[in-house]
Structure 1
């Protein structure tokens, strides 16, 4: 079963349980990945957080029921998992721009969000450059923060983490701790990022670290260390971008990895230990996304 098929199976489960408690762990298991990875990748590929997508689907179906039945608003609120008519009304108004009671009026404009289906994207004219490399285990160290995918918060909290660490000097300190200068041939930055390398509390949470590679010159005291196991890596390169455009470039590349490369590749993704490496400076930067893979059976 391909990645696209697994993701659609997981969405089938979510769609079938919009009126019950959705077990996110079960949905992730259907997609053959961790809870945090499932929600993070969904957000990147679908351009909306999984929680927001579920809310949109619930409110779409709720609007249909209001217009085609005599169900009471309090009963509809309970049906879709809201504790009170007030909380249901707030969610409904957020999506439709009107109240549930007004939704029954003739001529009222409502918003419908259809069920998402993941498809293989065919872009024959746009090349997808990648390479496969096997690497021995290595050690990184750095500054850790715990991120959450709730309401797509990671899209804001990760860039903010970088900004905070830049402004308060933590990135400069981490850079100095390497006792190295950037390598001239490939211009790799000394501080990069790794995520999803250990389990953390909260099904929607994952660890994210601004890291440096540990060498004999490194001064690692006071930093978290992560042993990255030996693995085969699929490595993807962005187009050139500015420093400010790094997040957008990586998100666009990641979306292409999942919708274009993975459905047709002879490899399957292995959860955990995803790397982002940064190269260049100023207006001429590029990035790489590293994911662990194994050959398909």
Structure 2
């Protein structure tokens, strides 16, 4: 069962590797994760990670969809990354700053694609259209993975403006 909470978070740096996701190709994400594991990129990225309890996401590793220009355009850069204190590029890894946002955080049990997809479907099909208070805030969307058996999907949100009649 997916649960949701709203939280304000400070900005933070990520370090990782990226790939271009060409449209609605969900297989591209899984293939990129597999390639990162096979090439040892995950272990390399983790050497630059902040301690989970000192980070904004409290995560082990992140998937970051750079949809800030327009969340309806589903072609974008995707990072496999960790939060970091680093400020400059290291090895083959890029640095990116995630600015402060208010986040709608969708949590679910599990580490697999099905748990993540439940979060995403709930966010886009049920919660965002029906919550009455928040809209997507044109920022990156995060897949947040933990040591324990849970996953989170973070969507940047902003309050809807009151519309006067």
* Common fold: TM-score over 0.5: yes
SS of residue matched to 1:272: coil
Specify whether residues 175 and 264 from structure 1 end up closer, same or farther in structure 2 by C-alpha distance, changes over 3 A only: same
SS of residue matched to 2:157: strand
Deviation at residue 188 of structure 1 after TM alignment:
4.5
TM-score w.r.t. the length of structure 1 is 0.47
SS of residue matched to 1:262: helix
Partner of 1:165: 36
Aligned-CA RMSD value:
2.6
The answer to which structure has the higher helix fraction is 1
Partner of 1:17: none
Deviation at residue 262 of structure 1 after TM alignment:
1.5
Note the 1:71-82 alignment, pairs <5 A. none
User: Higher relative contact order at CA 8 Å, sep ≥6: structure 1 or structure 2?
Assistant: 2
Contact 2:68 2:138 in 1 (8 A): no
Task: State the Cα deviation string for residues 103-158 of structure 1 (Å, max 9, x = none).
Answer: xxxxxxxxxxxxxxxxxxxxxxxx65211111222211111111112xx42x1111
Of residues 130, 153, 161, the one that matches 2:4 is 130
Contact 2:2 2:118 in 1 (8 A): no
Deviation at residue 215 of structure 1 after TM alignment:
1.6
Task: State the Cα deviation string for residues 223-249 of structure 1 (Å, max 9, x = none).
Answer: 2111111211111101x22x4xx2121
Note the 1:270-285 alignment, pairs <5 A. 270-281=137-148, 285=149
Deviation at residue 264 of structure 1 after TM alignment:
2.2
Contact 1:195 1:208 in 2 (8 A): yes
Structure 1: segments with no counterpart, 5+ residues: 1-126
The answer to which structure has the higher strand fraction is 2
Of residues 124, 144, 166, the one that matches 2:18 is 144
Of residues 176, 195, 200, the one that matches 2:65 is 195
SS of residue matched to 2:156: strand
Query: Is 1:287 aligned to 2:151, yes or no?
Result: yes
**Matched residues in 2 for 1:177 and 1:251: separation?**
28
Higher-Rg structure is: 1
Contact 1:198 1:207 in 2 (8 A): no
Specify whether residues 204 and 191 from structure 1 end up closer, same or farther in structure 2 by C-alpha distance, changes over 3 A only: closer
Contact 2:104 2:156 in 1 (8 A): yes
SS of residue matched to 2:37: helix
Task: State the Cα deviation string for residues 45-74 of structure 1 (Å, max 9, x = none).
Answer: xxxxxxxxxxxxxxxxxxxxxxxxxxxxxx
- Structure 1 runs (4+) greater than 3 angstroms displaced: 180-183
**Matched residues in 2 for 1:198 and 1:132: separation?**
19
Deviation at residue 194 of structure 1 after TM alignment:
0.6
